[in-house]
Amino acid sequence: SLCWFTAHTVPFPSPSQEPGEIIRKALSEEKRVSTKTSAADLVTETDHLVEGLIISELQKRFPSHRFIAEEAAAAGAKCVLTPSPTWIVDPIDGTCNFVHRFPTVAVSIGFAVNQELEFGVIYHCTEERLYTGRRGQGAFCNGQRLRVSGETDISKALVLTEIGPKRDPATLKLFLSNMERLLHAKAHGVRVIGSSTLALCHLASGAADAYYQFGLHCWDLAAATVIIREAGGIVMDTSGGPLDLMSCRVVAAGTREMATLIAQALQTINYGRDDEK
């Protein structure tokens, strides 16, 4: 069954055992792939299997808690964050990578109470790295403390982003023009690795200086937000205002200066809201 461990008196679920093993094994096997909101928004039987496993284990331990989970949402469940204790679950982040056997896939579990993110765990399934963060208690990768980069200058920055599921010509034009704006500002590079949560973990580790995206979801952001903040970083809305977990957009950076500069450079791509779907 799932492995559980106690960190600072709160039980953390560890996706590193059963879910991790299932995903690692399935990565190299044939998969049955279906599409969701677009031809690039994929799901497999393993996404459903792992989500069911995580939720049933959590429900056994916390029967009164609520859940927001990627595949349940795709099946029509409402994504509303109430003050009740709520688990926010992405069973496989990087499903497109998973389908192609590209070994950058993660399980992400965040936990919020009173609409405040309390802790998050993200498990890099192939490299067996477990990222954890708890509000006020730091962020760690396999037990080693994480610290963001202190870079404030775009012309010295490595920036991460993800494409998002919409591929219509107008969206693609905006996506490419945002990338072009950062390259014109002389960013050292802009990378797309295919997993929002793992890109955000690289930011938390100081391996990149900024991250931005339009079209990600609350289950891509919940756990990573705690981990980045606890590593000393900033997570904000692309308008420069406070993060709105349901707004399907984000800018994150090691410093407020960097996050603000990136936010100012971007044009908005409208993906609606998770809590209005």
The residues that are catalytic are: 70, 90, 92-93, 95, 220
| Cβ proximity of 252 and 210 under 8 Å | yes
Q: How far is CA 101 from CA 4, 27, 126, 199, 219, in A?
A: 28, 6, 11, 18, 22
Q: Distance between CA atoms of 223 and 23, rounded to whole angstroms? A: 19
Q: Distance between CA atoms of 266 and 180, rounded to whole angstroms? A: 10
The mark string for 167-196 relative to ligand IPD (x by CB under 6 A, - otherwise) is: ---------------------------xxx
* 60 vs 100, beta carbon nearer ligand IPD: 100
Q: HSE on the CB side for 96, CA within 13 Å? A: 15
Number of H helices, E strands in the chain: 8, 16
Asked if 70 interacts with ligand IPD (CB under 6 A), we say yes
Asked if 19 interacts with ligand IPD (CB under 6 A), we say no
Q: Phi and psi of 145, rounded to 5°? A: -65, 140
Q: Which stretch binds ligand IPD (CB under 6 A): 77-85, 86-94, 130-138, 173-181?
A: 86-94
Q: Which stretch binds ligand IPD (CB under 6 A): 134-142, 156-164, 178-186, 228-236?
A: 156-164
What is the size of the binding site for ligand IPD (CB under 6 A)? 16
Q: Distance between CA atoms of 172 and 180, rounded to whole angstroms? A: 12
Q: Distance between CA atoms of 164 and 104, rounded to whole angstroms? A: 16
Interface pick for ligand IPD out of 51, 118, 162, 244 (rule CB under 6 A): 162
Asked if 90 interacts with ligand IPD (CB under 6 A), we say yes
User: Closest Cα partner for 139 from 202, 200, 236, 226?
Assistant: 226
* 20 vs 215, beta carbon nearer ligand IPD: 215
Asked if 51 interacts with ligand IPD (CB under 6 A), we say no
The mark string for 196-235 relative to ligand IPD (x by CB under 6 A, - otherwise) is: x------------------xxx--x---------------
Smallest separation (angstroms) from ligand IPD to the CB of 81: 17
Interface pick for ligand IPD out of 14, 16, 86, 95 (rule CB under 6 A): 95
Q: Using CB under 6 A, which residues numbered 125 to 154 contact ligand IPD?
A: none
Smallest separation (angstroms) from ligand IPD to the CB of 215: 5
Q: Is 183 left (phi over 0), alpha (psi -120 to 50) or beta?
A: alpha
Core vs surface per residue 244-276: b (16+ CB within 10 A) or e: bbbbbbbbbbbbeebbbbbbebbeebebeebee
Smallest separation (angstroms) from ligand IPD to the CB of 50: 11
Residues that bind ligand IPD (CB under 6 A): 70, 90, 92-95, 162-164, 194-196, 215-217, 220
